Structure 1
Amino acid sequence: MDSLTQIVLGAAIGEVVLGKKVGNKAMLYGAIAGTIPDLDTFASHFVSTVDALAIHRGFTHSIFFAVLFAPIMGWLISRFEKAANFKDWSWLFFWGFLTHPLLDAHTTWGTQLFWPLDLRLAYKNIFVIDPLYTLPFLICVLAAMRLPKKSARRKNLNKWGLILSTTYLGITLLLKFYTYQHFKRALNDQGISYTAIETKPTAFNSLLWTANVDTDSHYLIGHYSIFDTQPIHFSKYLKNHLLLDTLRQEPQVRKLIKITEGWYNIEQKEDYIVLNDLRFGLLSLSPQAKDFVFSYTIKKNKDGSVSIEEREKNMRDGKKLIQELITRIQGN
């Protein structure tokens, strides 16, 4: 999830663990704990594009990280924050570190919660930024901050923030199941044979969902709003995997393919190719859309090496997508 959401969750967890003893400092250190796992994004400044992708939501989003670093942070904070002891601070950081990846596991990217095992949990039932999850939660936490640390109302407000946000997560899981059935029914009604299907919510909401469908030679992408009255339309995207040719043997290319979990297609350009990661959708809801949120240029250099770079996104595309979402959510 986005940084603000993780800060709010961390603050709420800090309040549960130590709020009655240290007041708003519990929220402060809980927010810090909720932020620390995402420091893995700084890896992009020191490693290749592909390696940075592989590192993200890996070690720092694992149970192993929480167990290893919570006592370290607990010892460090206990050296100058005497209102609670080493064990208390360690417990706060442990739960702050752990709830961060537990929440991220609900997004499309997922987390390697059981690192070093090569297993990524991704339930894909909430977009990385969802105001309906974050805003009520934030309001409850901010209201709780203004009350005395031993106030029963403070405890209840914080509890309601956790209840509302967790309930919303549960609702998105039900919506995922509901919309998944509609996508499957549409594929069957249209006589489409497929080998795999995955669904996820579109940006900033849980009312409009998208499905990626794998067939023998191409992928299909369709959208469904819970307010739709017309059949689902699926757009076709050729796989073109053969265009990779010998590049497929390059270690960084193999790693990038693994990161996409096989959901990718290839476009041939003049002197390079483009690999599109289909998992995160398109920058437009138009049936003719071809620009994906995450695309990577793969180029063979004159010295025989291969360079891979993420393609930059245009802010105007983001604004256009939001406008399209508002319209499309209302139904077809």
Structure 2
Amino acid sequence: MDSVTQVLLGAAVGEVVAGKKAGNKAVMWGAICGTIPDLDVIGRHFLSTVEALDFHRGISHSLLFAVIISPVLGFGIRRLYRQSNATWRDWTILVFLSLFTHALLDCFTTWGTQLFWPASYRVAFKSVFVIDPLYTLPLLISLVWLVFLPQNSGKRRKLNHAGLILSSGYLVITLVAKYQANQVFENSFDVQGIEVERYDSRPAPLNIVLWTVNVETDKGYYIGYYSFLDEDRKIKYDFFPGNHELLGEYGAYKEVKKLTEITENWYTVEVADHGIILNDLRFGQSSGWEAGEGNFVFAYHIYPTVSGIQVDEVEKNFKDGRKMLKQLWRRITGN
């Protein structure tokens, strides 16, 4: 999830664990610890493109990291606030739960989280977009309100619990919505005679009303959309040839093998002026998505160099963001 949401979730967890004993200090340290896992983005500055992708949501989002770092940070925070009623145990639990809930929340998004690192498996429920206001707002409202109340206030506890219950309940609703959308998609496969090898669904940006599905067949990939506000369940699918054979000799390089592994083999290949472009299908297209046109949000330029190959992420283009949001809203409201 986005950093703001993770800060808010960490702050709410901090209040639950040590709010009575440390007041807003617990909220502050929960917020700080809630954003620590995302510091793995610094990997972009000293790792290659593929290495940074593999590093993201890796060790820093794992249970092992939380278990090891929590008592250390807990000890340091306790040293800062020796006069506080919060003990080393309290601060250690606060740190652990702030780190763990960060990773757990990320598991609901598309990218996936190596919760059980060093195992390479990424947990990904794919039921929430990385930014979802309906999840974030209950946490934001309750926390902005409660930080102005005394730390021993019962109303403070109730506000925080309400924010957490509403946001957590929303996560449950997203799983139910995903299940219902999948039922519609599966029925459409049968009706349209699409021989599916596997499929993968997720919500469109900023909502859980509009859902998108990627479908793999022996001929290539289909991408379709369904809104719960559609007048019917007739889903229009756009076809994208895989063209995996265009990898050619590039496919023998470990960087490319790792890249295709990261995409979970949801990728297409196209010829570029110099080298090839590998498109990650999991995150859709940034423009023209309604008509199955436009560039994919995540794409990678692979090209030869003197020493081997180079893999660069293709620069994203969101210049016409307002138009894209209008298209998104129009599609959310039904076909």
Q: TM-score category by the smaller chain?
A: over 0.9
After superposition, give the CA deviation of every residue in 1:126-166 in whole Å (9 maximum; x if it has no partner). Answer: 00000010012210111111111111110000000000000
Contact 1:67/1:94 (CA < 8 Å) preserved in 2?
yes
Report the counterpart of residue 72 of structure 1 in structure 2: 72
User: Is 1:28 equivalent to 2:33 in the alignment?
Assistant: no
Farther off after superposition, 234-243 or 316-325: 316-325
Please point out which of 310, 314, 328 is paired with 1:325: 328
What is the Cα deviation at residue 317 of structure 1?
4.4
Code of the residue aligned with 2:70 in structure 1: it is A
Please point out which of 222, 229, 238 is paired with 1:235: 238
Q: State percent identity of aligned pairs.
A: 49
- Equivalent-residue separation in structure 1 for 2:322 and 2:106 (angstroms): 25
Q: 1:58 to 1:135 in 2, by over 3 A?
A: same
User: Is 1:250 equivalent to 2:220 in the alignment?
Assistant: no
What is the Cα deviation at residue 283 of structure 1?
1.0
After superposition, give the CA deviation of every residue in 1:248-296 in whole Å (9 maximum; x if it has no partner). Answer: 0101111101100010000111221000000111113322313111000
Please point out which of 139, 142, 151 is paired with 1:140: 142
After superposition, give the CA deviation of every residue in 1:191-250 in whole Å (9 maximum; x if it has no partner). Answer: 111100110000111110000000012100000000112411000000000000010010
Report the counterpart of residue 299 of structure 1 in structure 2: 303
Report the counterpart of residue 176 of structure 2 in structure 1: 174
Unpaired runs of 5+ residues, structure 2, are none
TM-score, length-normalised on structure 2? 0.97
- Equivalent-residue separation in structure 1 for 2:253 and 2:322 (angstroms): 36
1:106-125 matches, within 5 Å, as 106-125=108-127
Contact 1:283/1:289 (CA < 8 Å) preserved in 2?
no
Report the counterpart of residue 188 of structure 2 in structure 1: 186
- Equivalent-residue separation in structure 2 for 1:204 and 1:233 (angstroms): 22
Equivalent residues, number: 331
Contact 1:283/1:318 (CA < 8 Å) preserved in 2?
no
What is the Cα deviation at residue 87 of structure 1?
1.5
Q: 1:212 to 1:311 in 2, by over 3 A?
A: same
What is the Cα deviation at residue 304 of structure 1?
4.3
Unpaired runs of 5+ residues, structure 1, are none
- Equivalent-residue separation in structure 2 for 1:216 and 1:144 (angstroms): 55
User: Is 1:217 equivalent to 2:225 in the alignment?
Assistant: no
Please point out which of 161, 165, 184 is paired with 1:159: 161
Contact 2:138/2:164 (CA < 8 Å) preserved in 1?
no
Code of the residue aligned with 1:308 in structure 2: it is V
